[in-house]
Structure 1
């Protein structure tokens, strides 16, 4: 009876019912994670990470948790092989020493994916782990993640993670934008 009630509440919040303790993988083909840097003279540099990996887990107490992993070697910067190599290189994300950027959220209520708000968690970048948050936009559908993207943005200070290269040319903030989809239950 309790399991049915929990499923029913999840069905209301997300429009799905997979059952307690489920882990739903991120659909790497339909998800994207990008970043934006600004030069000191106002130019915007846009980059993307290829194929984000991760999953959303139901924790058994009706809260959820998301885990994402991004390959630094997959970074591409807006049609620029030069900027792509710089971003992957030792002065910036350093793919050779730190191959992944990881995020593990704090547990959250499933309504956050629908209503929007702050998703707090731990970001690990260049071997440094810090508490950060991403702001989720209100969903544009009844089943966010399945029928529409879960859209989140966050800004970090790159000096906090040792991204100290090119300080004269690049501003201190890095803006991340995520558009996350989950694999359909029947896949």
Structure 2
């Protein structure tokens, strides 16, 4: 009898746990307070630039952030290095070919804990210049606060990628050896996200 009662309570507990909704929150990137920055070697110094238009969503598992999902879409034509002629060249077929590939996207596929508090390794598929390859970013969750129009969350991500992996190969050789541009691109992503209002539960 005692064994049957224990089995019954185990079944009840499993049903309750499996029917409990996941603790999740939905967030949307605030493009006006977010940016994707980058730097690349030019001769012996580093040239910096940014993409000013970035959109995206975060479906955050508040109980277990490693189960969260994130997507980003970046407007390639919003590139800004502070030099209009250089920006024009970067949008051309020599580099991003913005007319043919107007956006780049990132979709997370795996999130793991990293060293430090609220630090994560986020792996995802980056589609750029018509090529999709996996990249891993180091992401710091900066926490959330209640702003004038609702809850706001901050994320900062860093990473390094090789532009040739995405078919962006333009370069010029130097007479002294080497090339004008490096291949590695360092990326810094700053995101401010606004929490979406949750839909009201249907009335019974």
The structure with more strand, counted as a fraction of residues: 2
Larger Cα-atom Rg: 2
Secondary structure of 2:164's partner?
helix
Counterpart residue number, 1:158: 163
C-alpha spacing 1:88/1:53, structure 2 compared with 1 (3 Å) = same
Measured after TM superposition, the shift of residue 179 of structure 1 is: 0.6
Measured after TM superposition, the shift of residue 68 of structure 1 is: 0.2
Measured after TM superposition, the shift of residue 59 of structure 1 is: 7.1
Counterpart residue number, 2:92: 89
Match 1:47 to one of 40, 46, 49: 49
Match 1:172 to one of 171, 183, 193: 183
C-alpha spacing 1:109/1:159, structure 2 compared with 1 (3 Å) = closer
Q: TM-score if structure 1 supplies the norm length?
A: 0.77
Match 2:80 to one of 73, 76, 82: 76
Structure 2: state its 5+ residue gaps.
1-15, 146-150, 173-178, 198-204
* Alignment RMSD (CA, Å): 3.1
Structure 1: state its 5+ residue gaps.
8-19
Give the number of aligned pairs. Answer: 169
Match 1:181 to one of 192, 197, 200: 192
Q: TM-score if structure 2 supplies the norm length?
A: 0.71
C-alpha spacing 1:111/1:176, structure 2 compared with 1 (3 Å) = closer
Measured after TM superposition, the shift of residue 147 of structure 1 is: 5.0
Moved over 6 A (4+): 109-112
